[in-house]
Amino acid sequence: MDVQKRLIQIAEGAYVEEDVLRIVDKIREAYPHIRVKYCEPGTGDFNSAPYKIVEVCRDGIERVVFDVWELNDLVLERLYASDTLKHDVLAQIDRNNALVRKNQIRQFKESMEDATDIVKHVLQRQAGSYTFPRDDGAIVKVDGDPTHKHKVIEK
C-alpha cells in the first residue's frame, strides 16, 4: 500500500494517516461536544502529546479531557469509559473492585489450604523429614530429627 495515499496534510509539514481521521470522525459522531486538537510541534513543552481531547462546555470554553500520543481505538474506549451519561462509571468501578477483592480472597483461601495441608502432613510424620516447594521456588525441609527440634532449613 502506498504510504502517500494514506497520509493527509493537516498543517505545514504535518501529515496524519487516514486512520487518524477515522478516529476523529468516530469521536465527532459519538460525542458532538468533544473535539480533537492537534498541537503543533514546539508549541508545548518537550513532553507534550501531539493531540488533546477537549470538551466544548456549555459556556463555550474548551476544557482538556486528556492528552494522547496516538489517535486509535483506545481513545474511543477511554472516552466511553469516562462517559457518565452512557453508563454508571462508579457502579462499574465498584463491580471491578468487587471482582478484584473476590479474587484476592480466593487466592488467600487457596494459600491457607496449601499451608494447612503442609502442616497436617508434617505433624503426621513420625520421623524423617518433609520437604515442599515454597511460592518463590525455594525448597523448604522440615527436619524430623528431635535433636534439630523440627528446624526449617531452606535450600
pLDDT tens-digit readout, 45-101: 777 888 899 999 999 899 998 999 888 889 988 888 887 777 787 888 899 999 999
68, 87, 106 - which closes a domain: 87
Is the domain of 134 the same as that of 82? no
Domain that holds residue 138: 126-155
In a domain, 137, yes or no: yes
Residue in this structure with the C-alpha cell 508545548, named with its chain if needed:
44
Give the domain-ending residue among 37, 71, 87. 87
- The pTM assigned to this predicted structure is 0.50
Query: Looking at 61, 87, 113, which one is the last position of a domain?
Result: 87
User: Same domain for 139 and 74?
Assistant: no
Residue 133 CB partners (closer than 8 Å, separation 6+): 139, 140
Please give the tally of structural domains in the chain: 2
In a domain, 108, yes or no: no
Please check whether residue 148 lies inside any domain of the structure. Answer: yes
Cα angle: 57, vertex 37, 2; to 5 degrees: 145
Q: What is the pLDDT of residue 110?
A: 93
User: Does a structural domain hold residue 79?
Assistant: yes
Q: Residue 149: its pLDDT value, please?
A: 54
CA distances from 37 to 23, 60, 75, 82, 118 (A): 13, 16, 13, 19, 61
Pair 71, 132 in one domain: no
CA atoms within a 13 Å half-sphere pointing along the CA-CB vector of 98: 6
Report pLDDT for 81. 81
Q: Give me the pLDDT at residue 103, please.
A: 96
Query: Is residue 71 domain-resident?
Result: yes
Place of cell 496534510: 9
Which range of 10-24, 88-102, 140-154 scores highest in mean pLDDT? It is 88-102
Whether pLDDT at 3 is above 60: no
Q: What's the rounded Cα separation, in Å, for the pair 34 and 55? A: 5
For residues 14-42, give the mean pLDDT. 83
Quote the pLDDT of residue 7: 73
Q: 3-state DSSP call for residue 67?
A: strand
In this structure, the answer to whether residues 78 and 9 fall within a common structural domain is yes
